Homo-oligomer: A and B are copies of this chain.
Amino acid sequence: MTRPTETPRRTPLSTERVLRAAVALADTIGIEALSMRRLSQELGVVPMALYKHVAHKEELLDGMVDAVVGEIDPPRSGAQGMTAVRGRILSARRVLSRHPWASRVIESRTAPTPALLAYMDSMIGMFRADGYSVDLTHHAMHALGSRLLGFSQELFDQSPDVDPGVREAGLRAMATAYPHVVEIAVRADHDGRSVVGQGCDDQFEFEFSLDLLLDGFERLRARGWRSTG
């Protein structure tokens, strides 16, 4: 009688459930705020309970990476060649934009996770199936690098400075010290593609550089280029 059987009987944890909760939590509160304690609290459990399902936080992060990479679309059955490659990379980019923390976490891994290896393997396969040599494919993978996953590789995410007035004042202040930077920033403000004061169109810049690289690969392939000379 002291212990009624009608206790809520929480559904038990599992690695799966922990990972899903971690991804969701990182999406909402950001990766830097994701601590083991915060996550355990989200799951209605004491912190140490998590350690029955992941060995340590690094393993948790590995699992989160795999979960996210697993969201990338498989290669579309119809498409072939560079357009298929292009499409898949853009799919990866969409996934990453849903989980903005993921790129940072992936870059912090020291060894590739299984899902990442699988993704790369299938990417390489697409090049090979399109007639690319092992040699050229190899260099292409290096050249794409983290862009394979849709990373922007920008030096700085332009801050959403919201107020255009503030932004313009800042630019004016920098004009003497960094005239070229300002010239370009102003230009980006006024061109047709982007909302004024908002900086530039990430997606356009990404596709611009991606296509530059893919075109370069095609050209080398057509030329029968080999790295060993």
A interface residues (Cβ-Cβ under 8 A, vs B): 104, 106-107, 109-112, 116-118, 120-122, 124-125, 128, 134-135, 137-139, 141-143, 145-149, 151-157, 159, 174, 177-181, 183-184, 187-188, 191-193, 200, 204-205, 208-209, 212-213, 215-217, 227-228
Task: Flag if B155 contacts A149 (CB, 8 Å).
Answer: yes
| Minimum Cβ distance to chain B for residue A93 (Å) | 14
Task: Flag if B209 contacts A212 (CB, 8 Å).
Answer: no
Nearest 9 A/B pairs, CB to CB: A143-B209, A124-B180, A145-B153, A142-B205, A212-B216, A121-B178, A134-B187, A138-B184, A121-B180
Residue of B nearest to A123 (CB): B180
Complex alpha-carbon distance, A193 and B228, angstroms: 7
Complex alpha-carbon distance, A12 and B216, angstroms: 55
Say which residue of B124, B208, B217, B228 sits within 8 Å of A191 (CB atoms). Answer: B228
Contact A139:B205 (CB < 8 A) given known A117-B174, A193-B228: yes
Task: Flag if B155 contacts A117 (CB, 8 Å).
Answer: no
Say which residue of B148, B155, B188 sits within 8 Å of A148 (CB atoms). Answer: B155
- Of the A-B pairs whose beta carbons lie under 8 Å apart in the complex, a sample of 24, sorted by A's number, is A110-B156, A111-B156, A112-B155, A117-B174, A117-B177, A118-B177, A120-B180, A120-B181, A121-B177, A125-B180, A135-B187, A135-B191, A138-B184, A139-B209, A142-B208, A142-B209, A143-B208, A143-B212, A145-B152, A204-B227, A209-B213, A212-B213, A215-B216, A216-B216
Residue of B nearest to A216 (CB): B212
Task: Flag if B124 contacts A184 (CB, 8 Å).
Answer: yes
Complex alpha-carbon distance, A117 and B155, angstroms: 11
**Residue numbers in B under 8 Å from A117 (CB-CB):** 174, 177-178, 181
| Minimum Cβ distance to chain B for residue A43 (Å) | 28
Contact A184:B228 (CB < 8 A) given known A116-B155, A155-B145, A212-B216: no
Complex alpha-carbon distance, A151 and B155, angstroms: 10
| Minimum Cβ distance to chain B for residue A202 (Å) | 9
**Residue numbers in B under 8 Å from A128 (CB-CB):** 180, 183
**Residue numbers in B under 8 Å from A187 (CB-CB):** 134-135, 138
Task: Flag if A181 contacts B146 (CB, 8 Å).
Answer: no
